[in-house]
Amino acid sequence: MYLARIAFENFRNFRNLDVALAGNVVIVGENRVGKSNLVYGLRLIFDPLPDSARDLQLGDFWDGIEEFDQNTRIKISVEISDFEDDPDVRAVLTDSRIPGDPHTVSLTYEFKAKSGLLRAPSSEKDFEFVCYGGRDPKKEFGYDVRSRITMDVLPALRDAEGDLAVWRRCPLRPLIESAFATIDRNDLQSVADQIEAATGRLMEFEPVFDLADDIARSFRAMSGDRQDVNPTLGFSSTDASKLHRQIKLLIDSGERGVSETSLARCGDWIVATLEIDEDDKGCRRSFLAPG
């Protein structure tokens, strides 16, 4: 299964985009040319969010539209091919086949003036969205289909960098915690003792000691004795149960952290995966865009 066609109309910086595809796709372009807008537009069809999250705003219309009328709309369509061999996929998409072409499915998102509106739309309240298949607005689909045809969007490196730096949000957290759960506590305590000794040696350097003392005294002066948290300097926790939180993702064979490198050089990619899945069976196709 793969995306065979993408068509955008009046969505953000896309006045009229209609592109035929054939399998995996790499989107290349400079900043602010619309790569993220393209991914977001596809999410309006595939992302299993509640319908309330799919209402757009007037600012999402192409800037070249000078006046709104009852025919003004944002339209995003995709065509999907090569799904016949999987009965689960076929069951989900069969009602969305294109008339006259049973081997191709069409899914569409439209943001348009509300039915029955007798004047030109002037605000978001005058618009509504609809998702339908087979190029027939009467064949609407909702969460029941989107939850089976999902699109996973991995964050660009510039966004993941912040998450990697915060343990609570770090995507590596469950993997690291699982790995460290198998390590003997005595072995971890031995490492913690070595880290504590190394930290002590660093603090013996007079400039470092003086800096730590200045920081502690300044904080105490601002907070008062009752709120003093006794700050100091160090390069890792010496608590054996928390050592794993100091593990960082490094690049260039461990020479640098992610935050020290050029985002462009690291391949600042948005990776979107379209997946149809039923009981761990299904198809995946990915397309990538520099973030």
Query: Does 273 lie in the same domain as 149?
Result: yes
Residue 252 lies in a domain: no
How much of the chain, in percent, has pLDDT values that exceed 70?
86
Query: Does 135 lie in the same domain as 32?
Result: yes
Query: Which tops the pLDDT comparison, 261 or 268?
Result: 261
Looking at residues 178-199, what average pLDDT do you find?
A: 92
Confidence of residue 212 (pLDDT cuts 50, 70, 90): very high
Query: Which tops the pLDDT comparison, 193 or 280?
Result: 193
Strand pairing report for 73-81 and 101-113:
antiparallel
Q: Which two tokens stand for residue 243?
A: 């050592």
Query: Which tops the pLDDT comparison, 163 or 21?
Result: 21
Domain holding 177, by residue range, is 173-246
Query: Which tops the pLDDT comparison, 258 or 52?
Result: 52
Read off the amino acid at residue 148: R
pLDDT in tens, 55-72: 999 999 999 998 999 999
Cβ neighbors of 6 (< 8 A, separation 6 or more) are 17, 18, 19, 21, 38, 42, 77, 78
Cβ neighbors of 43 (< 8 A, separation 6 or more) are 49, 151, 153
Three-state secondary structure of 163-227: HHHCCCCCCCHHHHHHHHCCCCHHHHHHHHHHHHHHHHHHHCCHHHHHHHHHHHHHHHHHHCHHH
The pLDDT value recorded for residue 273 is: 55
Top-confidence range, 108-122, 158-172, 191-205? 108-122
Q: What is the DSSP letter of 95?
A: G
Residue 240 lies in a domain: yes
Q: Which two tokens stand for residue 224?
A: 């008062």
d(CA 229, CA 220): 8
Strand pairing report for 14-20 and 25-26:
unpaired
Query: Does 62 lie in the same domain as 148?
Result: yes
Q: Is residue 275 predicted with pLDDT exceeding 70? A: no
H/E stretch holding 92? helix 87-93
Phi-psi region of 230 (alpha: psi -120 to 50; beta: other; left: phi over 0): left
Among 45-54, 150-159, 189-198, the least confident range: 150-159
Query: Does 88 lie in the same domain as 19?
Result: yes
Query: Does 101 lie in the same domain as 53?
Result: yes
CA atoms within 13 A on the CB side of 147: 5
Residue 255 lies in a domain: no
Confidence of residue 267 (pLDDT cuts 50, 70, 90): very low
Number of domains in the chain: 2
Query: Does 130 lie in the same domain as 13?
Result: yes
Q: Is residue 286 predicted with pLDDT exceeding 80? A: no
pTM of structure: 0.63
Q: What is the mean pLDDT of the chain?
A: 85
Query: Does 227 lie in the same domain as 280?
Result: no
Query: Does 225 lie in the same domain as 118?
Result: no
How much of the chain, in percent, has pLDDT values that exceed 90?
47
Read off the amino acid at residue 285: R
The pLDDT value recorded for residue 164 is: 75
